A and B are shown apart, each in its own frame.
Chain A
Amino acid sequence: MTAVQAALSGALIGGLYALMAAGLSVTWGTLRVINLAHFGLILVGAYLSYQLTSAWGIDPMLTLLVSAPALFVVGAGLQWAYDRFNIVEFNSLLVSFGLLMIIIEVSTQVWTADFRHIDAGANPYGTSALHLGPIALPVSRLVALGFALLLMGGGHLVLERTFAGRGLRAFAQDRTVAASFGIDHRRLGLVVGGLAGVSAAVAGMVFALGNTIAPAHAYEWFGTVFAVVILGGIGNLLGSLFAGLGVGAFSAVVAVLWDPSYEPFVLFLAIILALVLRPQGLFTRRAAA
């Protein structure tokens, strides 16, 4: 029973990893920008939700009305700058790592390195849980899963079924030919960068619901979220969703049945094995080139 409980609550934490991975995966897969600053945007999103809830006493979810548009603008602005200076792939990894450090430093100046959390009185999701027989599911994590299903399922449909989505996928494969059919990568890039910012606002808000916030968290997300992006297949939103749930459940089961200190070791060993067997990611169909 402990294993079942662990797998379920782990999968729910995985919903949060998946949300964090969504923006990273899409900008990497379609625009070839590996935007580590995304972790900084998630951090800022978490702090904004914390700050606005504390200042106005509103429901934490309502803070998205402010943080989502704000981070849309920041995400679009970042993408504009990456495009303007032609920063992609390996360069973007370096530049955005620098940006991430700056964001973390500024956050430390503004909110200090102390742990912050949304006041229990203002957070209706923080401590309550849904009980299914002997199994307890924390509401804050169910919210994470709900948002992950909504955003990533919706994003997947947009990529697969709409003209803009096809344009993005085509652009990811062959920029020149895509341009010859009228795809304006600058405009699409601004929208995608902005939406990645919105996903960061949501991931940050959801993180703040169930966790304490400190600037150093942005570094801690790195390993797991990268693993989720790569396992899911870069640019594949549904893949990231499944990979997030799987990684969350797997780590939690290892922690319960074995020892929490082995969790990173076993997790990354499993990821390396998975990538050796399926280098294109677990959930990517690959056609013969």
Chain B
Amino acid sequence: MLEVRGVDARYGDAQALWDVALDVGAAETVCIVGPNGAGKTTLVQTIAGLHRAAAGTITVAGVDVATLPGHRVCDHGVATVPEGRRVFGHMSVRDNLLLGAYRRPARAVHRETEARVYELFPRLKERSGQQAGSLSGGEQQMLALGRALMALPRLLLLDEPSLGLAPVIVDEVFDAIAAVNATGVSVLLVEQDVERALSAASRGYLLIEGRIVASGTTSELRSSADVRERVLGM
């Protein structure tokens, strides 16, 4: 579904990613773990086309999207839940969801998708007329996820979905991610909460200072000395 090869990313003179390679298979959940400032968010934004890769290829379902303008990458089935949720605070919950279905193929079936999102998150239905900015953090995270689902993604990029949320809400969000994954959507999960990330995913990569330094199944990563030392602090 997703093949990243040799990707570099920079901000001006500062290089944030070096020669990153990773894969996400069809209907797979893959996590990226690493300490603060490792380049995790840059990696998500680069894959989503919101930050231009300085080198390398990013192939989604056989198409190289690395050189496409940002608003074209979603044409290939990529949807993002950005770090900090970034819902449109001055728009209603329903308008946020409908915005997710902006592209024509998603627009054509937006009623059906909206009903499915409300099934997944009944709370969003209760609040559909409310301004998104007035929702709690957990509800905003559900809205950001629902908005991404409205785009009918084949690959979902999740950047720190647990950030700033109470544990019981995080459980709910991760249950929803598992449910979405079970419908055949591939998931790339970036998460600081390493325990959560490793238990949600089947494989993972360790990103440190902009480089992938380890990869493997989640049980291999759990026992890797690097992961234990550098991100679990054990």
Binding site for B on A (CB under 8 A): 163, 166-167, 169-170, 173-174, 176-185, 285-289
> In the bound complex, do residue A173 and residue B99 qualify as a contact, i.e. CB atoms below 8 Å apart?
no
Given A169-B91, A174-B88, A286-B90, do A179 and B70 touch, yes or no (CB 8 Å)? yes
Interface residues of B in 40-65 (CB under 8 A from A): 48-50
Smallest beta-carbon distance A279→chain B, Å: 15
A181/B103 contact (C-beta < 8 A), A166-B98, A169-B91, A285-B131 known: yes
Which of B4-12, B71-79, B185-193, B208-216 has 4 or more CB atoms under 8 Å from chain A? Answer: B71-79
B131 contact from A167, A178, A179, A287, Cβ within 8 A: A287
Chain A residues with CB below 8 A from B102, complex form: 163, 166-167, 181-183
Q: Which chain B residues in 79-122 approach chain A with CB under 8 Å?
A: 79-80, 82, 86, 88-91, 95, 98-103, 107
CB pair B100 A181 closer than 8 Å:
yes
The majority secondary structure among interface residues of chain A is helix
Answer yes or no: B155 CB below 8 A from chain A CBs.
no
Q: Is B2 an interface residue (CB 8 A)?
A: no
Please name 14 further chain A to chain B contacts, defined as beta carbons within 8 Å, in addition to the given A167-B99, A181-B99, sorted by A numbering: A163-B107, A166-B91, A166-B95, A166-B102, A169-B90, A176-B70, A179-B50, A180-B49, A180-B70, A181-B74, A181-B102, A182-B71, A183-B71, A287-B131
Q: Which one of B103, B107, B134 lies within 8 Å of A288 (CB-CB)? A: B134
A289 interface neighbour in B79, B80, B100, B133, Cβ under 8 Å: B133
Residue pair A169, B88 in contact (C-beta under 8 Å): yes
Q: Which of B49, B72, B82, B89 contacts A287 (CB 8 A)?
A: B89
With an 8 A cutoff between CB atoms, is B132 at the interface? yes
Which positions in B face A, CB cutoff 8 Å? 48-50, 70-75, 79-80, 82, 86, 88-91, 95, 98-103, 107, 131-134, 147, 151
Residues of chain B within 8 A (CB-CB) of A185 are: 71
Which residue of the partner chain, among A169, A180, A183, A288, contacts B50 with CB atoms under 8 Å?
A180
Report whether B88 and A176 are in contact in the complex, using a CB–CB cutoff of 8 Å. no
B89:A180 contact, CB within 8 angstroms: no
Supply 30 A–B pairs (Cβ within 8 Å), ascending by A. Answer: A166-B91, A166-B98, A169-B88, A169-B90, A170-B99, A173-B88, A173-B89, A173-B91, A174-B86, A174-B88, A176-B70, A176-B82, A176-B86, A177-B88, A179-B50, A179-B71, A180-B48, A180-B73, A180-B79, A181-B74, A182-B71, A182-B74, A182-B103, A183-B102, A185-B71, A287-B131, A287-B132, A287-B133, A288-B133, A288-B134
- The minimal Cβ–Cβ distance linking B92 to chain A, given in whole angstroms, is 9
Give min CB distance, A278 to chain B, whole Å.
16
For B131, what are the chain A residues with a Cβ–Cβ distance below 8 Å? 285, 287
By a CB distance below 8 angstroms, the chain A residues around B98 are 163, 166
Contact present for A177 and B151 (CB under 8 Å): no
Distance between B208 CB and nearest chain A CB, rounded to angstroms: 26
Contacts of A179 in B (CB 8 A): 49-50, 70-71
- Residue B134 contacts which of A163, A166, A184, A287 (CB distance < 8 angstroms)? A287
Kindly report which residue of chain B lies nearest to residue A235, judged by CB atoms. B90
Q: Which residues from chain B contact A184 at a C-beta distance below 8 Å? A: 71
Contact assessment for A180 and B82 in the assembled complex, using a CB-CB cutoff below 8 Å = yes
**Which A-chain residue is minimally distant from B50 (CB atoms)?**
A176
| B90 cross-chain contacts in A, Cβ below 8 A | 169, 173, 286-287
Chain A residues contacting B89 (CB-CB under 8 Å) are: 173, 287, 289
Residues of chain A with a CB closer than 8 A to B50's CB: 176, 179-180
Shortest distance between the CB of B137 and any CB in chain A (Å): 12
Closest A residue, CB atoms, query B72: A182
- The CA-CA distance from A179 to B132 in the complex, in Å, is 19
- Residues in B with CB closer than 8 Å to A286 are 90
